[in-house]
Structure 1
């Protein structure tokens, strides 16, 4: 019996060593990708110009800083902290266009990064505008403003983080009300199709809308935004929070559905149920799914034996096929809301914004690193 147990433990250890990437190599890849971005964007204050000028605290940049702070948790290089601090400080720790009264989730996505920075450096000024904007949202009755599923990731984690920071249930209550509306009521029946375990991007893609192959349209990155939001909320809310199990149930339902539609090469298509509609490797959705599944494994929500092969297949494919020698990321779909947007998506293609793809990749890689 003892000999059998020893053999089992030895085999398990060997399997782990064979399947998990070396931590040093994972970190090396993350640093290389982030260094490329910072080298090409040395001034974090500079606005983005894609058809028009946009301030640098829009949602695309917020996603990058989410990834950067995730990298900072495993490799606390001072330059990462300074790069994030200078960004927030330049914007006076305020929302897009200095509006502390914005209701648009894209414009208050930066709230969640500001709260993370406050936790690193508890200066009341860092938190002032973020708290004021969230308080405005929860003290007014509207719950029907996350009308596209990307908004769940842009808006919901800020409420969760503020609720944890203040200990006030009202933030958790408001985010549930807004999430529940998008999930169950938007467009008549909600955006979450429980039968398929995936989300329509917005009411424009509700049935009878179909993909060319007759399937429903489930946009990869849109589903990735929801998946990431769920784990970022679960990371913050207490174990006894009223709706914690509801979030867990949705996370598990999505995990099963996503596992079923992974490509043979490890990536996911931009259209999760129609590989013929602009099919091919795509990094942002894939990164967000890796982020979620790796987190789920690490936190005991997903079975390691079932999901680790999925995660590693995807991560290894991204590192091998999408990361250029200089750290540039290929196969990043640009901004949009459906498979045809931001095409073509190739190894050498350049998305319209160069920040959010890096952020998604850093989120994924930081969780892979923590799996050790």
Structure 2
């Protein structure tokens, strides 16, 4: 009964979204993960293609239209929201690509691809974005296996950070397991990151270190350290477990 009630509530909310014209709700990239997988899941579950089409329309608006598009196809990474689109720059003069924000997009693409049939409209576009993002992220990995909170500026609160790293591992491991990413290229990246997460971030009692708290950019929730206590860390556990499930399946 509870599951049925939850489904009906989700269907009702999503039906409202489908039957209204606006597609400009996802004004920050975290929202892609919050909204797109649910709409696609409803489309697959109900057989109503409108949910998936609305998800695509909203995704492409955020990707290509908002502030000129929050996705920079040149770097294959995303600006977190309109505040970070150039001329905004990091201290080293490069664009600001926030780690966890890009991680949410990776997770959204994985969850959508996990649901969509092989011949679904737009699947190839989602696959291309995930592949391009993962290729770009390989170039940003730190020597110790983690990713910095600012993917192109190690000088701006650089250091180990668990949530973005976990989401990247989740996406890459899923991609390898499903034949989307080359195993020989990505397995060393995945193994290096996973070993760093387990060996450097997990406390003896299971507490997770190096979790950046709530925010939208590198400076938020600092300092991020082994023994720091973020203002909200539940998503840190969730991100870590997502990565773990896919590494386990590999």
- TM-based fold match above 0.5: yes
Pair 1:132-2:41 in alignment: no
Aligned to 2:116: 237
Aligned to 2:151: 272
For residues 15 and 230 of structure 2, what CA distance do their matches in structure 1 show? Answer: 35
For residues 193 and 40 of structure 2, what CA distance do their matches in structure 1 show? Answer: 29
Say which of 332, 335, 342 aligns to 2:214: 335
Say which of 123, 136, 148 aligns to 2:28: 148
For residues 308 and 162 of structure 1, what CA distance do their matches in structure 2 show? Answer: 33
Gaps (5+ residues) in structure 2?
none
Deviation at 1:268, TM superposition (A): 0.1
For residues 346 and 293 of structure 1, what CA distance do their matches in structure 2 show? Answer: 25
Aligned to 1:316: 195
- Paired residue secondary structure (1:201): coil
Asked whether the equivalents of residues 163 and 237 of structure 1 are also in contact (C-alpha less than 8 Å), the reply is no
Aligned to 1:165: 45
> Per chain length, whose mean CA-contact separation is higher, i.e. which structure has more relative contact order (CA < 8 Å, sep 6+)?
1
Say which of 200, 204, 215 aligns to 2:94: 215
Deviation at 1:241, TM superposition (A): 1.2
Gaps (5+ residues) in structure 1?
1-84, 90-122
- Paired residue secondary structure (2:53): helix
Aligned to 2:63: 183
For residues 158 and 179 of structure 1, what CA distance do their matches in structure 2 show? Answer: 13
- Paired residue secondary structure (1:333): coil
Deviation at 1:358, TM superposition (A): 0.3
Say which of 351, 354, 358 aligns to 2:230: 351
Deviation at 1:238, TM superposition (A): 1.2
Pair 1:294-2:173 in alignment: yes
TM-score, normalised with respect to structure 2 = 0.99
Deviation per residue, 1:112-167 (Å, 9 max, x gap): xxxxxxxxxxx522311010001001110110010000000011100111111111
TM-score, normalised with respect to structure 1 = 0.66
The number of residues matched between the two structures is 250
Pair 1:194-2:69 in alignment: no
Asked whether the equivalents of residues 161 and 236 of structure 1 are also in contact (C-alpha less than 8 Å), the reply is yes
RMSD over aligned CA atoms reads 1.0
Runs of 4+ in 1 over 6 A off after TM superposition: none
